Amino acid sequence: MKPFPLNKAFTFLEPGPVILVSTAGRDKPNVMTLSWTMVLDFTPRFAFMTGPWNYSYQALVKTRECVIALPTAGMAKTVVSIGACSGAEVNKFEKFKLTPLEAEYVKAPLIKECYANIECRIVEYIKRHSIFILDAAAAWVDEKHQKKPFFHAVGDGRFIVDGEKINHRKIMLEKLPEGV
Amino acid sequence: MKPFPLNKAFTFLEPGPVILVSTAGRDKPNVMTLSWTMVLDFTPRFAFMTGPWNYSYQALVKTRECVIALPTAGMAKTVVSIGACSGAEVNKFEKFKLTPLEAEYVKAPLIKECYANIECRIVEYIKRHSIFILDAAAAWVDEKHQKKPFFHAVGDGRFIVDGEKINHRKIMLEKLPEGV
Judge whether B21 and B68 are in contact, CB under 8 Å.
yes
Confirm whether A180 is domain-assigned. no
Which residues have a Cβ under 8 Å from the Cβ of B104 and sit 6 or more positions away?
B119, B137, B138
Query: Residue B65 maps to which CATH number?
Result: 2.30.110.10
Please tell me the predicted confidence (pLDDT) of residue B153.
Answer: 98
State mean pLDDT over A97-108: 98
Query: In chain A, how many domains are there?
Result: 1
Partner-chain residue, chosen from A124, A155, A175, that has the shortest CB–CB distance to B10: A155
Confirm whether B130 is domain-assigned. yes
Confirm whether A30 is domain-assigned. yes
State mean pLDDT over B78-101: 97
What is chain A's mean pLDDT, rounded?
97
Please tell me the predicted confidence (pLDDT) of residue B94.
Answer: 98
Confirm whether B106 is domain-assigned. yes
Whole-number Cα distances in Å, A67 to A19, A40, A134, B63, B99: 10, 17, 10, 38, 44
Please tell me the predicted confidence (pLDDT) of residue B26.
Answer: 86
Distance CA B12, CA B171 (A): 21
Confirm whether B180 is domain-assigned. no
- Find which of A12, A127, A172 to mutate to test the B interface (most B CBs within 10 Å of its CB): A172
Confirm whether B12 is domain-assigned. yes
Smallest CA–CA distance from A42 into chain B, residue: B155
Percent of chain A clearing pLDDT 90 (strictly above): 98
Please tell me the predicted confidence (pLDDT) of residue A26.
Answer: 86
Confirm whether A32 is domain-assigned. yes
State mean pLDDT over B67-91: 97
Using only the alpha carbons of chain A, give its radius of gyration: 16
Please tell me the predicted confidence (pLDDT) of residue A50.
Answer: 98
Q: Residues 117 to 136 of B: which have CB under 8 A from any A CB?
A: 124, 126, 129-131, 133
The parent domain of residue A117 ranges over 2-175
State mean pLDDT over A87-114: 98
What is chain B's mean pLDDT, rounded?
97
pLDDT per position as a tens digit, B10-56 = 999 999 999 999 999 989 999 999 999 999 999 999 999 999 999 99
Please tell me the predicted confidence (pLDDT) of residue B3.
Answer: 98
Partner-chain residue, chosen from A40, A162, A169, that has the shortest CB–CB distance to B129: A40
Distance CA B83, CA B18 (A): 10
Nearest by Cα to B83 from B59, B53, B61, B106: B53
pLDDT per position as a tens digit, A132-179 = 999 999 999 999 999 999 999 999 999 999 999 999 999 999 999 999
Confirm whether B34 is domain-assigned. yes
